[in-house]
Structure 1
Amino acid sequence: MGSKCCRDDNIQIKDEILTAQNPDVTAPPIPENKKSLSQQGSKQSQVEDLQAQTENKQKEYDMAIDEQELKQEKAVDSVIQEQTSKVPEIVQTQNMTIEQSNQYFVDIVKNEVQSQNQTDNCVKSQGRVFKFGVETFVKEKEGLIGTHYNFGKVLGQGAFGKVWKATNKTTGLVRAIKQIKKSSIIKEEESRLFSEMNILKNLDHPHIVKLFELFQDENNYYLVTEQFIELYRYLSGGELFDRIKKMSSFSESIAADYIRQILLATAHCHEQQIVHRDLKPENIIFISEDPKSQLKVIDFGTSRKFDNQKAMSKRLGTPYYIAPEVLGHSYTEKCDIWSCGVILYILLCGYPPFVGKTENQILERVKTGKFTFDPEDWDPISKEAKAFITKLLRVDASKRLSAKQALEDPWLVKYAPSTQVNRKVLDNIRQFQAQTVLKQALMSYMITQMSTQKEIQELQKEFQRLDINNDGFLSKDEFLKGYLQIQNDLKLAQEEVEKILEMIDINRSGLIDFSEFCMAAMNQEKLLSVQRVEQAFKIFDQNGDGFISKKELEAVMGDLGDDIWNQILTDCDNNGDGQISYEEFVKMLKNKKL
C-alpha cells in the first residue's frame, strides 16, 4: 500500500522482509566505496532468492483489530479486583458498615467504568449512542467514483494500479486517488488493504496523511487521500541525498524540523497502540512543493495494533531501515524509533548507516548495530546530533528512546518552534458555538473533508504549541496552560477551559483531537463562507431536489436512527415537513433563530 502501488515493487511477502524489485529506487545513493551489490547488478537474482525463501512460508499478515470492548472488560475486571481487595481496609479506616462499604465500592467501580467509557468517541442523544469522530465521514461511498471526481494526470504507476491527481466536482478540492486493481492483489493483500483503511481512518494528526473516502467498482478499489509529493522523489533528481549535503540551506535545523514531524506522527500512533513498521523516506510525503510544506507519514499497510504485554514477531520492514530485533522475530513499537534514527542519519550525511555488497550483508550489519560517523562527512555535524542518533539506534530496544523521549531530546528542543500561542486562535476557540448535533456534524465535515492544507497549516502550528506532551491530543491541563498565557486569573481561565471542552469535544473523549481543535480555532466566517456552505449542502443533497432527507444525511454520516434524526428536525426543521431546506440549513449554521 501507500507508495508501493506507485512503484514496480510487486511485493507480496508476509512473514519475511519487504524488499523492492528496484533497490535503486528504494535505497538512498551510497558513495562509490559504500555501494551495495544491488546497485551494481544482480538485482533480479537477489529478489528472486528472497522471494524463493518466502514461498514456502505461511502467508500471514497482521490485521489491526478493534480491541476496545476487550480492553474495557479487562479494565472493569481490574477495577473490581483492585477495589475488592481494599474493602476490608476501607471498612476499618473509615468506620463504615458493610453496607456502606459495599455502596462505596459500587460507586468507585461505576465512576471508573464511566471514565473508561469516555473514550468511546460518541455523542449521546435521547439515550442512543451515536458514533461521532474523525472516522464518521470516512466510509465506502455509493455510486461510481467518476460521478464525484474528475481524473487528471497520473502521479504514479505500479504493479497494483495507479495514483491519480483528481478534482472533486462539487468542492473543486484536489485529491490523490489510489486506484488498486482487484485482479492484481491476492486475498491476503486485500485483507491487509482493509486493515490499513481501518487504521488510517481513525488517525487524526497533522503529520499523518488523511483518508477522505473509499470507492469500489467491479475491477478496482479507490482510496481518496490528500494530494501529496513523495519526500523521497522531492529530494531526488539524480543526486538524491548527495544533493542535500551540498545545499547550504539544508542545515541541522531543517533536518531537526523534518525528523521532529516524523516523530510527532510516530508518538501519536504509539499513543494509540499502533506501530507503523515500515518508516522510510518513501513513506514520508510533502503535501505541496512549497519549501515550508509540512511532512506527513503514509503507507500503513504493515501497521497493526500492538499489545504492550506481548512482543510482535512478523518480520516486516525494508532492509536499510529495519530494526535488529525485528530480524530476531521479537520486537515492540520501538522498531519505528530505529527507523527514525536511520532516516535522520541519511538526512545529515546522504547515505545509510548500515551498508553492504548484498542484502544479507546489510542485514548482518543491522543485527550488530555497529555504525560510524565518518569524519569526512560528520565533522561539520554537531556532537548533539550524533548523540541523538546514537540514542535512536541502540540495539537494546529497552534502552532506546521512546517517541516521546526523543521529542524531548536536547538536540530537538534546541530547534523546536516557539511555544508562544497565538491569541487570535484562542479567541476564535472561545467564541466557537455549535449547540446542535447537526451543526457539530456539519462543521466537523467541513474541517475534515472540505478545508485545504493551506487553511489549517497555521492552526496546525498552534495545536502543536499547546500539545505539550506531544501525544497528538490536547488535554484540559494543556488547554489551561495555553489560556493562562492570555488570562492571568486562574479561576476565570479554568471556567473558560471547562466551557470550551464541553463545546468542542464532540466525540466526548475527554481530550481535544486535531480536527476538533481546527473546527473551533478557524475563523468561523471563513469556515462558514457562502461558497463552502453551498458546497456542503450540495454534497448532502445528493438527488439535487433542494432538500436534505434522512437517507441522504445517512449516506454521508452513517446510520442515525430515528431519535437522532428527530432531534435534528427539532433543531432545524422550521416548517415541519420532515426534511431540511437550504434556507433552514443556512440559518442553523449561522446561528439565526428559525
Structure 2
Amino acid sequence: MFQFNESEEGAQPSGDDVKRNALRALVGLAPEVMLNALEEECGGIEQKVRVLYEMVEAKEEWVYTLVDGASEEALLALGRHRVTNQSDLVEISKLFDKVGVENHVRELLRLMVPGHGYDPKIDENVRLPGGVRSSRSESSVTLKDFIKVGAIEWLEWLVDRHPHLRSRVCHIAARTGRLEVLKWARAREYSWDSETCADAARGGHLDILKWARSHGCPWGESTCIGAATRGHLEILQWARDHGCPWSAWTCSNAAHNGHLDVLKWARANGCPWNEATGLKAAARGHLEVFKWTYSNGCPWRAFTCATAAGGGHLEILKYARENGCPWNMETCTEAARYGHLSVLQWAHANGCQWDERTCAEAARCGHLDVLKWLYEAKCPWDGSTCANAAYAGNLEILKWARENGCRWSECTCASAAGNGHVAVLRWAREHGCPWDERTCELAARGGFLDILKWARNSHGHQKDEERRAKGRDSRRSSSPVPFSTTTKHEVRRKEEHRTPSAKSVQLVYEIDGKVLGRGHYGVVRKCKHRETGEVCAVKSISKKRISRPEVLKREISILKTVEHPNIIKIRDVFEDSHHVFIVTELCTGGELFERIIEKTNTAEGHYSEHDAAHIVKQVLGAISYCHDMNICHRDLKPENFLFETKDASIVKIIDFGLARVADVVDDVADRPRASSMHTRVGTPYYIAPEVLARDYTRACDLWSIGVITYILLCGYPPFNGDSDVAIFERVKRGLTARSFPKEDWDEITQPAKEFIQNLLSLDASKRMTAKAALEHPWIVANADTLPGQTAEVAAVKPVKPKKERNSRKLNGDQLANRLKNFVGMSRLKQVALNVLAHHLTEKEISELSHIWKQVDKDRKGLITIQQLRDTLEQNGHVCTEDEMSQVLEGIDTDGNNVIDYYEFAASLLARNQTIRDDRIKEVFEAIDSKNKGYIELADIKEIMGSDAHALELLGDDFPPSGKMDLDQFRAKLADM
C-alpha cells in the first residue's frame, strides 16, 4: 500500500522501523486516510499511540507536522477511534501535550469519548468546563467547538441547559459550514436572521446560503458585504442574481482584503463606492487595488495618506502624494503611532506638518526610537507625551522624556493610576511629579485597589512641614492624594470674586451671578447679550484645571463646526490669562437624566414607547449628523442631554469633551486600523464592550444609544453592578435571556426589544448605523408626531403599576444603628476597624460601596455630615443635631471634619462586634509597619496624624508603657 524506505546497506528493517516508515508515508494525506493507515499499520490504538509517543520523544520533527497539522476533526477522531480505557486517554493527552495541541481540543476529546468522558445522558448535573463562555481561555470549550465537530448530541444537551445560546447556533453553523447542525437547529425552531445568510457568505458556504434562502431566511446587504470581504465572487454573483441588496461597503471591504476581481465585478455591475474604498485598500497595503480605485475615479481625502502611513505602506503614500492626494498632521501622527519611522521621515522631509500629538502617540505606543528621532528633528512636545507614556505603562519612555526636558503634570500620575501602572506612578512621585484628586478617582474607576490604597496611605505623603510651607491647610488629610483639594472657603471665595481679567466677556455679555450648574472644570451661569438682549449660558473654565488644552480646543472646534437642532449651539468664545469662557444657547428644561428619575417615581415608572422613540429619534438624528461629519461622540449618556425648555420635548447634546474626529465610516468588520480608536473613555453604564478592549469605532455611539433606549423604556440600565468593574464585566457579556424581565417588559412591543438588541450587539459590525436606526420600524411607527403629541396619543393601554424591583434599598434606621455602634466602641477598636477597612477584599467591599455611592452623590470621595444626614432622612431616619455631632466625632478619626471612604467603611464594619483572629493579626501587622513585634504611639501617630489626636483617641486603651504586643492587642479588642 505504501512505499517504505529501506534500511542502510540493504538490511531488512525491524518491525518498529516498518511502523515508523509507514507513519512517514502518511504525512500530508487526508485525515480519513491517515486514520485508516495508522490503524492498519500500527495494529490498534494502543500501539499506535505508543509509537507516535516514542517518535515524539525522539524529536522527529515530521511527527509534529503530522499531528499538529491535522484538523480538529482528525485529532478528535484519532482519540475516539479505538479508545477503550482511561489509560488510552492519558496516553493521547500526553501525545497532544508534546505536540502542542490546544487545550480545548483535549478537553473536547475528554468530554466526548463514550464511557470515559462526561455522558450527558447519565450525568444530568455535570457542569461543562467553559461551555457557556463566549471567549476562549486556555482550556475552555465553546459552543463553536461543538458545532464545528458536528456533536449534535452534546450540542442539544448544552443548549437545553443554556437557552440563551440558541440565538447563536444558526449563525455559527452557517459560518462553519455545518449544514446538518443548521437543519437540526431550525427543526427545533432556533431563531435566525439576515446575519445567518451573511455568515454563510463570509464562510464561503454557498450550499448553506441556498438552503437558508429556500427555507425563508431573510438577508440584507451584509450578505454581499460578507462575500466580498472574504473574496467569494461566486457567492456574491449568486446573491446579486437572486436580488440581494448591496451598498458601498461591498466595494470597500473587497478593497480592504485585496480582492480586486470582486471589486472590478462589483463596479462593473453598478455597485456604489465612496472614499472608504481607497481608504481601506491603503490601510492594508494593496497597492494594485489602490491604483485601480484611483484610476477609475474613486474619491479620496486627506485621511487616505494618514491611513497609509499608519499601516506603514510607504509606496501607497508616495503614489497618493504624486497624484495629488491631500494630507495633514494626522499622517505624521499615524506613522508615529504605529512606529513606522521610515514613513514618518519621508513624510516630514516632503513637507508634512506635525504637532505635539505626534510625540504623544509615539510615547503612548512605546516607540522610543521614533520619539528620539522626533526629539532630534525638533518636533514639539508637551505634557501629553509624559502622560501618554504613563498611560501605557512605558516607564523607559517616561524616564527618557524627563531626562530630555519634557514637562509633566498631574495628568501623568492620573494616567498611570487609571490604567494600573503602579511602578510608573511610584517612580513619577519619587521624582517630583505633581498629582491631584484625579489619581484616586481614576484608580477607583479602574478597580485598581492596590494603587488606591498606596495613594491614600502615608507612603507618598508630603510632610506636614512641607504642607505648611506651601501655605496649605495644616490639618492632616487621611491620604496623600485628596479626592477634593478645594475647601469650602476656597469655593465660596472663587464664586464671589470676579477678576478684572474677565472684563472682555463682560463687555459683551451681562453675566448673572447665580450658578446654574457645576462641572469638573468650571461653572455655568446665565448671561444676556448687551446689544441684542439674547439670553445665553456662559461656562467659565479655569485654565489651572486643564491638563490638556488641546482637548478643550478640539471640543470648541467641533461645536463651532456642527449645526444641528439637537446639538447645543456655540455663540462666542473668550479667553484671558486665567479662564476660558464658552457662550452657548440657553436650555432651561433640565437634563434627560433628571426626567428619567422623575418618570421612575410615577405609576408607570418609565417613558412610554411613543415618548421614548421621540427622544431617541432626536438623538439618532444628531449622531447621524455627527457621523456624517466624521465625529464620534464617545460619551453619550442622559446627563449630556438637555431639554430646550421645561415644556418642550426637544433635546440637545451639550458635551463634546470626549468627542473625536474619526474620519472613517466603519460599521462593518475588517475595518482599517486607522479608523479605530484606542483610548478607553466614556461612562461605565453606557460604555461599549469594544471601548473596554481599546479597539473601537464610532459604532460605540450606537451602543450608548441602545443603553439609553433601554433605560427610557424601563427606568434602569441593562448592565448594572455595585462597582465599575462589575458593570464592565456585565457589559462584556452583553444582553442575556434575563435582560428583559417579564414584570418590566411584558407590555413593551417586540420591535422595541429588537431595536435595543441590535444596538446592543456585542459585535459592533452587526449594529445598525445611525441612519439605519432612524429607519427602523419602531422609530418610524412611534416618533411620527410633533412635540407635545406624546403621552395622550400613546396611552392606549391601562397603566399597570410597576412591581417593586429586587434592588438593595438603603434602610436609614439600620444605617444609623450601625454608625451608632461604631461611635460607642472603644477608640482602639475604631482605629483597628479603620485599618481593616484598608485591607478589605473586593467581595467584602461590595456592599459598602453600594451604600457609599448613595451618600457620596457628588462623587468627590469625601462626605460632609450634612450629606450623611440628608441620606439618613431620605431613607426614613430622623436625625437630631446632637446625634449627628456624635456620629461625626466618632467616625472622623483623622479630625478633618469630613468623612472619607475608609472612615465610612470602618463604621459600617461595626456590625461585627468581634474581629476574627486572623484579621486582628493582619491589622496588627499593618500598624506595626517596621516589624518590631509591638506597636507604640508613633505607629498610631502615622495613622492618626499627630500625637495629641492619637492620645485623645486612645485614652486609657493604650498601656502606660506606650507599647502593646499582639496578645495585648488581641485581648484589648476582645474586651471591647
Higher normalized strand content (fraction of residues): 1
Tell which has more relative contact order, 1 or 2 (C-alpha 8 A, sep 6+).
Answer: 1
Find the structure with the greater CA-based Rg. Answer: 2
Higher normalized helix content (fraction of residues): 2
Q: TM-score range, shorter-chain basis? A: 0.3 to 0.5
The TM-score, its normalising length taken from structure 1, stands at: 0.46
